[in-house]
Amino acid sequence: MVYTRQNQSTLTTAQKKRFVSAVLAVKRSGQYDDFVRMHVEFYIGDGDGGHPVAHMAPTFLPWHRRFLLEFERALQNVDPGVSVPYWDWTVDRSPHSSIWGEGFLGGNGRRSDKRVMTGPFAYDSGNWNINEAVTEGEFLTREFGRPRDPMNLPTKDELEWAMRDSLYDSAPWNSTSSRGFRNKLEGWTSGVGNARFRNHNRVHRWIGGHMLGAASVNDPVFWLHHSFIDLLWDRWQRRHPQSTAFLPARKASGTGSVVAGDQPMPPWDVKPRSLIGHGDLYRYT
Ligand code: CU
Ligand code: CU
């Protein structure tokens, strides 16, 4: 059965409640922290001498698609009627949007220590202790808009800049690729300060706190953000039907340690090209 992923702004109170309950159950089972650990393990980017696969690489999109599917399966083991909603941050862009409501993801962190104080993932709820990559404390942190160096969420125009590029990715296939939808959507640029971060990256920066680093999965908004990124890959494919949906298509000289479309992508050993479509699993509404 094909299930749907909904825009979070259209969820009913009951649907939000079911999603939150499933997330909390996965957390209680210890499995949630496995997802945090896995993301930390694959956080390495270029320049670290590692094997970039999840970020700063063409596989940014298929890697996170598979990662979301694994998480969604964990949720569905708890409640088969739940899926990962998506957050369109070009529309719901206020710190007071309903996504940050008491009955859903909770709000901003408080000023003194960025600790989230409202909603089901607030430390005081007793259900959400940070156990992986603990830096400041066991509480979830957010700092909307970086008050010290203010920034906004990406705009429709900024997203359009990525969407209109008809090439999926280009050499050197990392965070310095100047052409290609993947790097423009992932959001690395040669700018300085806030201008360095566009689209996907800018959303992580705008939320702040745990969303800033390798352990960003600690904040459940991670999944809603990446669900929208996943949808955007679909939208891009529909807009550029003549373009190859994933590049490099195969291993070739000059692609270095980059995982090509026909090579196994760790840790699942699935080929990126097998993750180009998902119509038999889920659809976006
Ligand atoms: Cu990631
Ligand atoms: Cu991300």
Between the CA of 200 and the centroid of ligand 2 the distance, in Å, is 6
Ligand nearest to the CA of 187: 2
What's the farthest any 2 CA atoms get from each other in the chain?
54
User: Are the CB atoms for 239 and 263 separated by under 8 Å?
Assistant: no
Which ligand has the shortest distance to the CA of 60?
Answer: 1
Strand partners, 109: 116
pLDDT per residue as tens digits for the range 204-233: 999 999 999 899 999 999 999 999 999 999
- Residue 254: predicted pLDDT: 72
pLDDT tens, residue by residue, 136-172: 689 999 999 999 999 999 999 999 999 999 999 999 9
Looking at residue 47, its pLDDT comes to 53
Instruction: Report the chain's mean pLDDT, rounded to a whole number.
Output: 94
Q: Between the CA of residue 190 and those of 43, 175, 187, 199, 206, what are the distances in Å?
A: 20, 9, 10, 14, 19
Segment 60-85 shows an average pLDDT of: 98
Check residue 283 and give its pLDDT: 97
Residue 136 token pair: 């400041």
DSSP 219: S
| Mean pLDDT, range 91-99, rounded to an integer | 97
Of the ligands numbered here, which is closest to the C-alpha atom of 226?
A: 2
Task: List 270's β-bridge partners, or say none.
Answer: 265
Q: How far, in Å, from the CA of 17 to the mean position of ligand 2?
A: 24
Mean pLDDT in residue range 178-192: 95
Ligand 1 centroid to Cα of residue 54, in Å, is 6
Ligand in nearest proximity to the CA of 64: 1
Residue range 53-76: mean pLDDT, rounded: 97
Q: Tell me how far the alpha carbon of residue 43 lies from the centroid of ligand 2, in angstroms.
A: 10
Q: How many domains does the chain divide into? A: 1
CA 42 distance to own-chain centroid: 13
List alpha helices for the chain, DSSP H.
13-28, 31-41, 60-78, 156-163, 181-186, 199-207, 221-239
**CA–centroid distance, residue 184 to ligand 2 (Å):** 13
Q: What is the mean pLDDT of residues 22-26?
A: 98
User: Closest Cα partner for 62 from 280, 257, 278?
Assistant: 278
- What tokens were used for 139? 């509480």
State the CB neighbour count (10 A cutoff) for residue 64: 25
- CA–CA separation, 142 vs 108, rounded Å? 6
Phi-psi sector, 99: left (phi>0), alpha (psi -120 to 50), beta: alpha
CA distance 148 to 12: 35
Which residues form the domain of 215? 3-284
Under the phi-then-psi rule, with left for phi > 0, alpha for psi from -120 to 50, and beta for the rest, what region is 132?
beta
CATH code for the domain in which residue 172 is found: 1.10.1280.10
The Cα angle at residue 271 between residues 265 and 276, in degrees rounded to 5: 115
Read off the tokens for 224. Answer: 């809603």
Q: Find all residues with CB under 8 Å of 269, minimum gap 6, and list them.
A: none
Q: How far apart are CA 8 and CA 230, in angstroms?
A: 14
What pLDDT is attached to residue 57?
A: 94
| Angle made by CA atoms 30, 35, 40, in degrees to the nearest 5 | 125
At residue 113, the pLDDT reads 94
